[in-house]
Amino acid sequence: MKTIELSLRKYLDRAYFKVKKSPRYDYWRLLEKSQYLPESQLRKIQFQRLKKLIHFSYKNNKFYQDRFDKAGLKPDDIKDFSDIGKLPVLTKKDIRTNLNSMISSGYNKNRLLCFKTGGSTGKALDIYISEACSEMRNAVARRHDRWSGWDVGEPVGAIWGNPVLPKTIKNKAKSWVLSPNIYLDTMAVTNQSVRAFTRQWEKKKPSLIFGHAHSIFILAQFLDRLGINNVRPKGIISSSMMLMPHERKFIERVFNTKVTDRYGCEEVSLIASECEKHNGMHLNIEHLFIEFIDENGRQTAPGQPGDIVITDLMNWAMPFIRYKVEDVGIASNKKCECGRGLPLMESVAGRTADFLFKPDGTRVAGISLIENTLTRIKGLDQMQIIQDSINCLQINIVPGKDYNLNREKELVHYFRTVFGSNTTVDIYPINSIMAEKSGKYRFSICKIKN
């Protein structure tokens, strides 16, 4: 993109938020600076925000007033981060059953932004946030988008299943001026749609590919198969689902650039993301307070898996205090060489619902099993594990060219080694793993109720 065109887009971007009286631009500029503050200073800011949220919620939110009272706590009892552990975690069930009392007084539900979470595990939620909170979320996303090499005003190639396209004239015009993106719908990807996408790519030359991990992988497979090599973004952001190491390797080879992995959820938005050094994921601590806890509620040590629990410091309209996301993550005490003060997490181990059970009751991350299997046994392009009951596994596989009966025997043997010799392992060869309605893919599905 020409420098003059890019400068114009940047100018218009700033002007747009000013005219709209949106705080997004200013939030973003502050976030660009605060990321380089020392961690101790960032923690001070984070704790101040946490204290304010706690005081506000106790005074203005019936649901949290009751929680504090039941726990025998007053806001002033929260003297450091560890004291927050005295409050119970907030579950998805708590939110569904207490939706009205979770809206703070002083906020009119009809004037808040409302969205429904995907609910791919049958747990759809209504979430309400204020305009200011929404703008903070967008500002954070923009800061982290730039870590991939992309900059404001540059076009993006969006790779989603069921992408949300600008529909109204106003949104189309806004998109055309501020971010002239191109889209590929990976729910219906064909040689023709990939060729059409690459023709658009030639015209607009996006600097970023952004999408679901597996959707980007599908595009990479098509480009590789068709011998198309003009899709050369500066960076790639993989979001919304686990990025498996073998998919990452393939994507990076096809596009000849690094993938910047990102973790978040619809309820609280961006939680963590890799920077340009790819040393783990920096936590978004100006906006969120993030805990990793074991089954007894204690903070896990760095390197150990723990349930991810989030407090959204900016959503005062419908506070999320100690929200259990139902994902498992691994904290880290490493420092990143990029110089940012934002602490790191090592990785996301998977969604709680994607963990499978061994007969002795121990949990095993389905995603890790898939990764192990695909690197250990040849002839498998893709795989999905469905655990119907404690001793019954359904393995859907997309066979590669080296697949044969011996591979199948190896596969059954591997799963019986992990899950026990009495486990029934049914193998089903399929053409491709289907996406869910949301456009996301699930590779490990546990149907055993916890």
CB burial of residue 428 (10 Å; 0-12, 13-18, 19+): exposed
Name the DSSP letter for residue 433. P
At a CB cut-off of 8 Å and minimum separation 6, what does 173 contact?
none
CB of 282 to Zn ion, least distance (A): 6
What are the angstrom distances between the C-alpha of 235 and each of 41, 143, 172, 439? 30, 14, 25, 22
Dist. CA 66–CA 293, nearest whole Å? 23
CB nearer Zn ion, residue 338 or residue 390: 338
CB nearer Zn ion, residue 340 or residue 407: 340
CB burial of residue 250 (10 Å; 0-12, 13-18, 19+): middle
Region from 23-31, 269-277, 417-425, 441-449 binding Zn ion, contact rule CB under 5 A: 269-277
The answer to the question of residue 275 lying near Zn ion (CB under 5 A) is yes
Tokens standing for residue 396? 């859907």
Q: Looking at the DSSP assignment, which residues form a beta bridge with residue 183?
A: 158
Site string for Zn ion, 208-247 (x = CB under 5 A): ----------------------------------------
Region from 26-34, 171-179, 334-342, 362-370 binding Zn ion, contact rule CB under 5 A: 334-342
Dist. CA 200–CA 153, nearest whole Å? 17
CB of 33 to Zn ion, least distance (A): 16
CB nearer Zn ion, residue 259 or residue 275: 275
Closest CA relative to residue 384, chosen from 394, 392, 375, 376: 394
**CB 31, CB 286: distance < 8 Å:** yes
CB of 280 to Zn ion, least distance (A): 8
Give the one residue of 178, 338, 412, 433 binding Zn ion; rule: CB under 5 A. 338
Region from 7-15, 62-70, 274-282, 404-412 binding Zn ion, contact rule CB under 5 A: 274-282
> On the CB side of 291, how many CA atoms lie within 13 Å of its CA?
24
CB nearer Zn ion, residue 305 or residue 341: 341
Closest CA relative to residue 154, chosen from 205, 217, 198, 230: 205
Strand, helix or coil for residue 234: coil
Region from 186-194, 232-240, 268-276, 322-330 binding Zn ion, contact rule CB under 5 A: 268-276
Region from 10-18, 294-302, 338-346, 401-409 binding Zn ion, contact rule CB under 5 A: 338-346
Tokens standing for residue 83? 């004291």
- State whether the Cα torsion 222-224-226-228 is positive or negative: positive
Give the one residue of 277, 278, 378, 416 binding Zn ion; rule: CB under 5 A. 277
CB nearer Zn ion, residue 272 or residue 435: 272
Region from 34-42, 166-174, 333-341, 431-439 binding Zn ion, contact rule CB under 5 A: 333-341
CB of 410 to Zn ion, least distance (A): 40
CB nearer Zn ion, residue 147 or residue 323: 147
The answer to the question of residue 336 lying near Zn ion (CB under 5 A) is yes
**CB 150, CB 209: distance < 8 Å:** no
Within 374-393, the residues that bind Zn ion by CB under 5 A are: none
CB nearer Zn ion, residue 147 or residue 403: 147
CB nearer Zn ion, residue 275 or residue 285: 275
At a CB cut-off of 8 Å and minimum separation 6, what does 415 contact?
393, 395, 423, 425
The answer to the question of residue 288 lying near Zn ion (CB under 5 A) is no
CB of 277 to Zn ion, least distance (A): 5
Residues of the shown chain interacting with Zn ion in the complex, contacts defined by CB under 5 A: 275, 277, 336, 338
